[in-house]
Structure 1
Amino acid sequence: MRDRDVQRPSLVWFGLLATASLLSPALAQPVAPAPEAPTGRTAKSVVTTTKDMVAAANPLAAQAGREILAAGGSAVDAAVAVQLVLNLVEPQSSGIGGGAFLVFWDGSTMTTLDGREKAPAAAKPERFLGPDGKPMKFYDAVVGGRSVGVPGTVRLLERAHKNWGKLPWKDVIEPAVRLAENGFAISPRLNGLLTQEKYLQNDPVARAYFYESDGTPKKVGTILKNPAFAQTLRSIAEKGAEAFYSGEIAQDIVATVTGHPSNPGDMTLDDLKGYTVEERAAVCGPYRTYRICGMGPPSSGQVAVQQIMSTLETQDMAAMKPGPEAAHWMAEAGRLAFADRALYIADPAFVNVPVKGLTDPGYLKSRAALVDPNKSMGKAKPGDPPFQKTFLWGPSDGIEFGTSHMSIVDRNGNAVSMTTTIEDGFGSRLMTKSGFLLNNELTDFSFAPEDDGKPVANRVEGGKRPRSSMAPTIVLDGDNKLYAVVGSPGGSLIINYVAKTLVGLLDWKLDPQVAVDLPNFGSRNGPTELEAGTEAEGWKTALEAKGHEVKLIDQNSGIHAIVVTPAGLVGGADSRREGVAIGN
């Protein structure tokens, strides 16, 4: 590790052990956990490298990506390695049992891949209604096979690698294979989340893997090995994604989903075999001298981020600095964006989402004019964007929590921003015998199929992809050159996390570490939410004077940001989690 890759000394030692484990089978030994509590902050310093960089949610995953880059791999090669290691070390958040969105920049073209999970063909709009016709309680719907969507991550990784990979497919999978076989030490964060978890140990496979015989979570530092996952990865390395979507692994997935004793699902082998990744046009929009690009529907992330940033662009945010005035504008912009999000955005294969209208400069200007600098609007109403080719439908909710993100830039200037998820922490709480957890992504659909007699855009339908808030983002400068790669986990709060970080980078000219560590604040068209335990608490009185209903809440973001500078790549990883930014 370079001297300028400034981290805590224990993380340097940790990274060196990770290198031995991932690259040299002769030296492979289980590695120690990062010294980080499951909640709270770990102090981190900004990192600068000259060739390439990866920022990811766990040091072992970041190290896997770094070594792939050092071996001459592309940003996409590194993303494959990072994702598969995250499946092991951060299983509560993402993995091959879930889905992902990937934004890729090759120096001239912005491309996005949609690997979002899909509802089984048999899914019906009333899927999450109880016998009384009312929406089920959230965890009654989550736990079991009913909530599991057809996973898309493996197909996405294969598609991206075929398009933009440089190293052999087997080579980029190998680091995760070795880690699964040799084991890794359970981190304080994973142990803490297992301690808080209420449902996971009801699944016999997950209980045997994560818990001791007395039902207590395996302790911090316990070496966790996953030979079943290693074998799954070997099959995928040898046969490609088809090994996941047909054959023994697919049969295992279907059996796990349909075999739940009280809440079974209806996924079939045909559902898995028929899954496809969609290449979609990036949603891009201006912000001052920059161009911000990201994922379009079924993700609401980039449309909402663009709407927020367009409102903020009407103000001198650079002069405003972090404080109650900036929080007022961010919250009001968020209200407007989330109102439109709730009404208009869903899977574009099922509804005509008016993306062009929602990002139309004239429409956004009219929305920004609704903000009173001296008074909160309370709850915003959705607008009436131009270029609509659809009927009006009812609003809906739908968020994901068990999510991760990676930002990667390789030595050729190619960039990946990828947000990946299994929805809630530990997903559906179902673990396959093949060694991975399954998502509960279908609970990102609206539980109620109608609102006031009108169909909800994000209702459940067979073959449909649920709406997401994930917002993997790439920023270009005025010369159309790569400037920044940003993203975060965090459910619907992702949109505000990313917007806040973009303001920090683009307006306040903060280094990436400071920008991601700023207090989180904003609104999802409800209360104005300030991050508890931070300096943002001090803004409460001033915001209430403007009519805001203010709530102090935990906002455990996991933002990663990389910025291109004349001195090299500069990166930061959110101090609220155990992730790191490293490179060569």
Structure 2
Amino acid sequence: MFRPYALLAPFALLVSGCAGYNAPPVAVSEPAPVASQGAVSTADPRATAAGEAILAQGGSATDAAIAVMLALTVVEPQSSGIGGGGFMVLAGDDGVVTFDGRETAPAAATGARFLDEDGEPLPYTERVISGLSVGIPGNIALAAQAHERYGKVPWADLFAPAIALARDGFLMNRRLNDSLSSAAERASNTEAARAIFFGADGAPLPVGTLIKVPELAETFERIASRGPSAMYETGAEALADYVAAETPRDGRMTAADVRSYAAKERDPVCTRYRVYKICGMGPPSSGGVAVAQMLGQLERFDLAQLGPQSPQFWHLFLESQRIAYADREVYLADQDFVEVPVAGLVDPAYIAARSALIDPGAAMANAEPGVPQGAPLARADGNEPPESGTTHFSIVDAEGNAVSYTSTVEGAFGSGLHFGGFYLNNELTDFSSSPAINGVPVANRVEGGKRPRSSMAPTIVFDQDGEIILVIGAAGGPTIPVQVARSIIGVLDFGMTAEEALGLPLIMAFGSTIITEEGSSVAAMADELQALGHGELRLLSPRGKANALRRTPDGWESAGDPRVAAMLGYE
């Protein structure tokens, strides 16, 4: 049983009930960093306000999470929305429950979907900016399934903040403006999208411009009044016909594909790290397993003594990444289609054996996948491109229920296809491009009805008494499990606040190359890391996008990644 925090003093929510919500076309102030009986952390203050409005109305964490997802469809179209999918991890009186709203491939999709007649990858535009990349969206189905079990506020009320934002307008911030510029090929792919976000000169509208999306408001109103059937039944033919018309080859989407879509409840991946319980998402996400493996492999080291300023810590962290990701590439995929040895991958004995591969004094030459109990006899490695169109939000309600929800359209602005006022995902490019390597099948190959592997890692952390102490997740494609594990270590081992932990540098191993952020403390450790045998450190601009709630003696600390906070201004 998860204990409600009745002992904590009530807090004043920043907005009134949803029924009277009137989204202002101006910047919304950030909430107080600590809230005592409920809290919301998102990548945009207007989405935070939507979630808080639902909590003020007496809504559950699930209700608030749905309102946030819908609001982000409006104000953060580059990252997520009802045209994509997501994963929800929920903790409450039923224990830990996880919902899978990952997109699926059309039934007629084949393993050669992204290959030409010679077996070579199709050109970028045909592969990504087309119907080939679009999976059946899952976020509305996920929301409906979760709301049916854990919702307290009427379904239609959850749409009110997002409808107001879409109809009355919101201000273009610097982050959206930058995304429209950097991903212009996708963002401006359709006339409908250009009319919303771009000027007559073809450039993104200036920061501070009032943006209205009336077609999206109408879409929300239909789904609010008719339920998910407005998207998956009466709306199935229009969606499928639009995507099919934009699909040049291989298994086009049909209305039957849309009608047959279902969100699924999955078994959570729960493991121990020191005295803590860590719960995350299982397949088709690789995030829960990867986070569990990285933390488990590092448990034998005194990370608190090393601290974040130690090159030794970052060396150990890089080695744990390499080992976890070697397993990820071979074993993790949609468990409805391939055998995924989850229990073996997170078995403490197996993780301890993998940890033994870490040499504190030298980087390993190459990380090979292990052979966990239940591993299939033959499985080839496969990779998918990074996700840059993803967002995460964390919610805790007055009764102590928590939701960790990561939502995505895959790349920035997804496929570039714009339908009903929202962007459609390009999630199918998360499948491995080749169905087999040297005759050995790839677990994450394209198959009809299958869900592509994801890196998303919504996570909830409990202390030794079963209290929820951290609700966390991130965006950023394959860097997501790394960001989540790093931030958990920051809070649990380094004693940091959530904000400090989210601000830790990103460092990740890609083969022999290490990426990190220019100007970071880790970038200054290049010589020490290379002396330990690590390869070239490639410096990138600051990146990361995580959100978290941390329980403190005074209530909940709401924190966002400082890298994102710096981009939310209107100047």
Q: 2:172, 2:207 within 8 Å by CA — same for their partners in 1? A: yes
Q: Deviations over 1:223-280 (max 9, x none)?
A: 1111111111111111111111122x33332232122285787111000000011101
* C-alpha separation in 1, matches of 2:58 and 2:112: 50
Distance 1:137 1:580, change over 3 A: closer
Q: 1:387 aligns with which of 369, 374, 380?
A: 374
**Residue 38 of structure 1 corresponds to which residue in structure 2?**
none
**Aligned 1:6-155 pairs, distance under 5 A:** 19=15, 24=20, 29-32=24-27, 47-107=33-93, 109-155=95-141
**Residue 174 of structure 1 corresponds to which residue in structure 2?**
160
Structure 1 stretch 188-197 or stretch 303-312: which is displaced more? 188-197
**Residue 208 of structure 2 corresponds to which residue in structure 1?**
221
Q: 1:393, 1:454 within 8 Å by CA — same for their partners in 2? A: yes
> Which residue identity does 1:365 align to in structure 2?
A
Q: Percent identity?
A: 44
* C-alpha separation in 1, matches of 2:390 and 2:407: 6
> Which residue identity does 1:201 align to in structure 2?
S
**The residue matched to 1:559 in structure 2 has which SS?**
strand
**Residue 400 of structure 1 corresponds to which residue in structure 2?**
387
**Deviation of residue 137 (structure 1)?**
4.3
Structure 1 stretch 161-170 or stretch 189-198: which is displaced more? 189-198
**Deviation of residue 24 (structure 1)?**
3.9
**Deviation of residue 108 (structure 1)?**
5.2
Q: 1:144, 1:263 within 8 Å by CA — same for their partners in 2? A: no
**Residue 8 of structure 1 corresponds to which residue in structure 2?**
none
* C-alpha separation in 2, matches of 1:465 and 1:255: 21
Aligned length: 552
Q: 2:408 aligns with which of 421, 426, 429?
A: 421
**Residue 191 of structure 2 corresponds to which residue in structure 1?**
204
**Residue 520 of structure 1 corresponds to which residue in structure 2?**
506
Q: Deviations over 1:292-311 (max 9, x none)?
A: 00000000001011110011
**The residue matched to 1:394 in structure 2 has which SS?**
coil
Q: 2:223, 2:229 within 8 Å by CA — same for their partners in 1? A: yes
**Residue 6 of structure 2 corresponds to which residue in structure 1?**
none
Q: Does 1:346 align with 2:333?
A: yes
**Deviation of residue 67 (structure 1)?**
1.4
* C-alpha separation in 2, matches of 1:108 and 1:291: 16
Q: 1:246 aligns with which of 230, 233, 248?
A: 233
Distance 1:242 1:72, change over 3 A: same
**Residue 4 of structure 2 corresponds to which residue in structure 1?**
none
* C-alpha separation in 2, matches of 1:215 and 1:495: 37
**Residue 308 of structure 1 corresponds to which residue in structure 2?**
294
> Which residue identity does 1:163 align to in structure 2?
R
Q: 1:412 aligns with which of 383, 394, 399?
A: 399
Q: Does 1:452 align with 2:447?
A: no
**Aligned 1:534-549 pairs, distance under 5 A:** 534-549=520-535
* C-alpha separation in 2, matches of 1:136 and 1:572: 41
**Deviation of residue 524 (structure 1)?**
4.4
Structure 1 stretch 330-339 or stretch 100-109: which is displaced more? 100-109
**The residue matched to 2:222 in structure 1 has which SS?**
helix
Q: 2:132, 2:248 within 8 Å by CA — same for their partners in 1? A: no
* C-alpha separation in 2, matches of 1:369 and 1:224: 54
> Which residue identity does 2:314 align to in structure 1?
A
**Residue 8 of structure 2 corresponds to which residue in structure 1?**
none
Q: 2:174, 2:567 within 8 Å by CA — same for their partners in 1? A: no
Distance 1:439 1:261, change over 3 A: closer
Q: 1:46, 1:513 within 8 Å by CA — same for their partners in 2? A: no
Structure 1 stretch 423-432 or stretch 208-217: which is displaced more? 208-217
Distance 1:85 1:384, change over 3 A: same
**The residue matched to 2:538 in structure 1 has which SS?**
strand
Distance 1:28 1:354, change over 3 A: closer
Q: 2:267 aligns with which of 281, 284, 297?
A: 281
* C-alpha separation in 1, matches of 2:393 and 2:24: 25
> Which residue identity does 2:26 align to in structure 1?
V
* C-alpha separation in 2, matches of 1:528 and 1:179: 41
What RMSD over aligned residues (CA atoms) do the two structures have, in Å?
2.1
**Residue 9 of structure 2 corresponds to which residue in structure 1?**
none
> Which residue identity does 1:30 align to in structure 2?
P
**Deviation of residue 531 (structure 1)?**
2.0
**Residue 40 of structure 1 corresponds to which residue in structure 2?**
none
Q: 2:350 aligns with which of 352, 363, 377?
A: 363
**Deviation of residue 453 (structure 1)?**
1.5
**The residue matched to 1:229 in structure 2 has which SS?**
helix
Q: 1:484 aligns with which of 452, 470, 494?
A: 470
**The residue matched to 2:564 in structure 1 has which SS?**
coil
Instruction: Structure 2 unaligned segments of length 5 or more: list them.
Output: 1-12
Distance 1:276 1:580, change over 3 A: farther
**Deviation of residue 566 (structure 1)?**
2.2
